[in-house]
Amino acid sequence: MVLTIDVGNSRIKGAVFEKDNSLELFVFSRDEIQKKIEIILKKYPKITHLVVASVGKADKDLFLNFKNELDVWFISHEDAFPFVNNYATPKTLGIDRMVLAAGATLQFKGQNRLIIDAGTCVTYDFVDENDVYHGGAISPGLRLRYESLHNFTEKLPLLQVNNPKHFVGDSTAEAIHSGIVNGLVYEISGFVDEYKSKHTNFIIILTGGDSEFLAKRLKNTIFANSNFLLESLNRIFQYKIGND
């Protein structure tokens, strides 16, 4: 069994896998790392490997505390990935983006893939049908857009993410919801349309914390899976042990 951990900007997600089967998902905060992993290991004593992808500054020592019980693997730029990396600055490419690209490469073979991760930031990553990673784009996520309107203006309130009731906002709150939510939906749709105009045999993968919220508003056919990164970590692990 494998425990995969995604250390994101705002929270930590984990999943237990037995080969390709996901047994349970977990979400917890940074200060719960030690306690939560201990609980998971008691529940699943057959776990032998801990696979970690971190984009934040979580202390690696917290995970290394389990090195006597588990084989701990921190995914890094030096690892072998199942795609050719054509990014101009490969060392600056986020591990989370590399993991998502690897998962898409392994799961959707022989297709052009656009992976959209809607979390704190929205990232777009393109892997072509020949398994070449080309890069993509980064923009602010929903929460950042709400916060920026509040933080960089004097009077606009800080609102919680919510679907706009009308396209034309009839109040300040509704205007903010319409601008942010519809703005991001149009952004994503625009990116998708641009890629699809240049490539056939195409799949769009939408993941991240806001994926389910956004998927309901997108007209393009997409594969939505909020846990795609955790599943991709397991696929990379299987790829690694299969190629060692």
Query: Which of the residues are catalytic?
Result: 96
The three-state secondary structure class of 140 is: strand
Distance between CA 118 and CA 226 in Å, rounded?
Answer: 9
Beta strands in the chain (DSSP E): 2-7, 12-18, 21-28, 49-54, 71-74, 84-85, 112-118, 121-127, 132-140, 202-207, 223-224
Cβ neighbours of residue 3 closer than 8 Å, sequence gap 6 or more: 14, 15, 16, 17, 37, 40, 41, 44, 47, 49, 50, 51, 70
Q: Collapsing DSSP states into helix, strand and coil, what is residue 143?
A: helix
DSSP category for residue 154: S
CA distance 105 to 155: 46
Q: Where are the alpha helices (DSSP H) in 81-152?
A: 95-107, 142-151
Half-sphere exposure of 175 (CA within 13 A, CB side): 6
